[in-house]
Amino acid sequence: MDLGGYADNVARIDLASGRVAYEHIDESDARKYVGGRGLGVKFVFDNGPTVDPLGPDNLLCFMNGPLTGTDVTMSGRMAIVTKSPLTGTVTDSHHGGWSAARLRWAGFDALLFRGRAAKPVYAFVENGKVELRDASDLWGKGVHETVKTLLKRYGDDTSVIAIGPAGERLVRYASFINENDRASGRGGTGAVAGSKQLKAIVIRAKKAIPKAKDKDAFKAAHQRALAVIMDESTVTSPRKGGLSVYGTNVLMNVTNAIGALGAKNSQQTTFAAAEEIAGEKIKETILVHDPTCHACPVACKKEVETHGKYAVHMESFEYEPAWALGANCGNANRESIAYIIDLCNDYGMDAIELGQVLGMSMEASEKELIKERIEWGDTDRMVELTHLIGRREGIGDTMAEGTQRAAERFGDGNLAMAVKGQSTPAYDPRGLKGMGIAYATSNRGACHLRAYTPASELLGVPEKTDPLAWEGKGRLTKLLQDLHAVSDSFDLCKFSAFAEGPEEYAAQYSAVTGVRATGDDLLRIGERIYNLERHYNNLAGFREGSDYLPKRFLEEPSTAKGSEGHVCELDLMLREYYEARGWESGVVPDRKLKELQIV
C-alpha cells in the first residue's frame, strides 16, 4: 500500500490454533474507512453480524489509525472494536495512554483475535511479530497485579492492556484497561476477551515516529492544529482552559446549573451536593497530579489520592464515573467515588454501567421490587456490590448482566436508563435535548461520544444552539456523528474537536497519508462509517423501533431550574434525523448503501 502513516501490517491471531497470519491493508478499504474505528468496523462487518458476541467466532480488533503514534497532537488513542455482549450491536471503545503509539512503533495497524484459546494466554507484540504466551499465572488476578507482573517481566517501553476478573467472569460490561487506569470502558470488550481466554496484550516498542508523506505540509498542518488547541480562549488550552485545569469533571457544576444532571437514577435533574464531587472541589481537596497521553499538551487526566476508609491513589477522576457513582446514586462522598473507580479499573468494568446498575437497584430497593436493601448514598454497600458484581456472586450475578437485563429481572424494565441495553451517560436529555437524539441513535447503545452535542449546546462549537430546543438537533447529531466517526478512525482524542474542525483534520490526514482530502471528504467518510455500523446492526436484528429512549425522559418532566417542565421530544427529532440520514425508520436502504459505496 502506498499511503503514508500506516504500518501496512495487520496480524490475524487464531487463538484456538495459536497461528498468527500477517497481511497488508487493502488500500481501497484504507481510503474508504481510514483505520481505527472505521476499519475495525469493516473487519467486524466482514466477520458477519450474527455471531454470538461471547462465542469463539466473534472478532476482537485492536485498531490504530494512520495518525496514531505520529506527532499529530492528541494522537494517542486506540480503538477496540467487536460485537458487544451488552448490546448485540457492533461496538468500539477507545483508550488513551501510550499503548496505541507503541503498537504503531512495534509495526502494526491492527491485531485481530478470533477463536478461543485452550488455556489463558496473553499476546506479546514486538518488532512486527505477535506471540501467544501462557497467562495461567495471571488468570484470576486483578488488572493492577497483572500490569505490575508483566511490566516487571518486560521492562521499560512496554504497555499492558489487560482484563480483570470481571472480563474472565463475562460481566457484560467488562472493560479492557490500558496501563492500569485508562479504560476502553464501554460495550463489554473485556467480556469478549474473557470468553476467548485472552488476558492481556503486551506491547514493547521504542519511540519511532512514522514519517509524514509530505513533511512540509505536515509541519504547517501540525502547527495550525496545535495553535488552535493551545489558544487561550479554548477549553483545551494547557493549564488555562477548563478541560486542562479540572479535567472532564469541569462539567459537573454546569450540567447541574442548567437542570441536566440526572440524580437518583434520573428521578431528578439536579443534585444538591454536586459541588462536593465537581472538578473544582476535587482540585481543592484530593488532586495530586495531571497525567497526560502520547502527544497531548492538554493533560486532562486527574490523578487523586484519598485517605481513611476509602484510601486510594488512582487516576482518573472523570466526570462520567463521578456522576454515575455520585449524583446518580445520591452519593456526595468523593473519596468513595475514587475508591470505586479504582475497583472498576482493577476488576476491569465500565464505571458508567456500574453506577447506573447501582442507581437502578437503589430505586428498585426503594420501590420494594427486590428484597435487598440498597439505600441511596450507602457507600459501603456500593463497595460491597462492586465486589459482588466483579465476582458475579449473589445479587451481583444479576447486576453483572447490565442495567437493562437486571431491571427486567427485578420486575420493571422501565427503571433502566438504557438504550439498546447500554446505560445512558451523564447528560439528562430533558435539559440537553441533543443528547436525547444522540443516545437514541447511537450505533453502540446509549453513548455521549458518538455525537457530543453539548459541544454545541453548552460551549458553542461548531455553533451555539439552545439546549432546550429540539429543532435542528437531528441534523446537528448527524453532523457530529459523522465527524466523530472519522476522528475515531484517525484515531484522535475526541477533545481535539473542541478546538479543531474538519479542515484541520483534513490537512493533517492529507499530509501524513498523501491522500488529498477536504473537510467535506472526511465528513463523507464519517457518514460511510456510520452507515456501515447501522447496516451491521440492521442485519443483526435492530430494525424499526430500535432508536428509543427510556420512558422517564419522555414522560416525566424535569423539576429543576433551567429545564423545569421539559421532557425530551424524541419523536420530532427522530423524524428530522432520519430525513437527514436518508434512512427508513432506522434502517439503511439499499440506495444509501450504494451511494456511499458500502456495497
Partner 1 sequence: MGVIRLYATLRARADGERAVEIGWRAGTTVGDAVRALIARKPGLEGHILDTRGCVVPYVSVFVEGRDIRHLAGLDTVLSAADEIAIFPPVAGG
* Binding region for partner 1 (CB under 8 A): 233-235, 240-243, 245-251, 253-254, 257-259, 279-280, 300, 318-320, 448-449, 452, 454-455, 458-461, 464, 466-469, 494-495, 498, 560-563
Least Å from the CB of residue 170 to partner 1: 28
Task: Write the CA distances from 229 to 70, 234, 284, 437, integer angstroms.
Answer: 17, 7, 26, 28
Of 102 and 294, the one with the shorter C-beta distance to partner 1 is: 294
Of 26 and 280, the one with the shorter C-beta distance to partner 1 is: 280
Euclidean distance between CA atoms 402 and 380, whole angstroms = 21
Least Å from the CB of residue 501 to partner 1: 14
Of 258 and 351, the one with the shorter C-beta distance to partner 1 is: 258
Least Å from the CB of residue 102 to partner 1: 23
Task: Write the CA distances from 285 to 29, 326, 386, integer angstroms.
Answer: 49, 16, 25
Least Å from the CB of residue 325 to partner 1: 16
Of 242 and 434, the one with the shorter C-beta distance to partner 1 is: 242
Would you call 548 exposed, middle or buried from its count of C-beta atoms within 10 A (0-12, 13-18, 19+)?
Answer: middle
Euclidean distance between CA atoms 467 and 458, whole angstroms = 7
Least Å from the CB of residue 476 to partner 1: 15
Sequence-separated contacts (24+) of 362-371 with Cβ below 8 Å? 362/264, 362/265, 362/329, 362/330, 363/264, 363/265, 363/267, 363/415, 364/407, 364/410, 364/411, 364/412, 364/415, 367/412, 367/415, 369/410, 369/411, 369/412, 369/415, 370/395, 370/410
List phi, psi (to 5°) of 202.
-115, 120
Of 103 and 243, the one with the shorter C-beta distance to partner 1 is: 243
Least Å from the CB of residue 110 to partner 1: 24
Least Å from the CB of residue 91 to partner 1: 17
Of 30 and 252, the one with the shorter C-beta distance to partner 1 is: 252
Of 128 and 565, the one with the shorter C-beta distance to partner 1 is: 565
Of 390 and 436, the one with the shorter C-beta distance to partner 1 is: 436
Cβ–Cβ < 8 Å for 330, 376: yes
Task: Write the CA distances from 101 to 267, 293, 294, 545, integer angstroms.
Answer: 42, 10, 7, 40
Query: What cell was used for 446?
Result: 446509549
List phi, psi (to 5°) of 250.
-65, -15
Of 201 and 560, the one with the shorter C-beta distance to partner 1 is: 560
Residue-wise DSSP of 336-395: HHHHHHHHHHHHTB-HHHHHHHHHHHHHHHHTTSSSS---TT-HHHHHHHHHHHHHT-TH
For residue 136, whether the previous peptide bond is cis, meaning omega lies within 30 degrees of 0, is no
Euclidean distance between CA atoms 508 and 219, whole angstroms = 9
Least Å from the CB of residue 590 to partner 1: 35
Least Å from the CB of residue 234 to partner 1: 6
Least Å from the CB of residue 275 to partner 1: 8
Of 257 and 369, the one with the shorter C-beta distance to partner 1 is: 257
> Using the 8-state DSSP alphabet, how is residue 458 labeled?
I
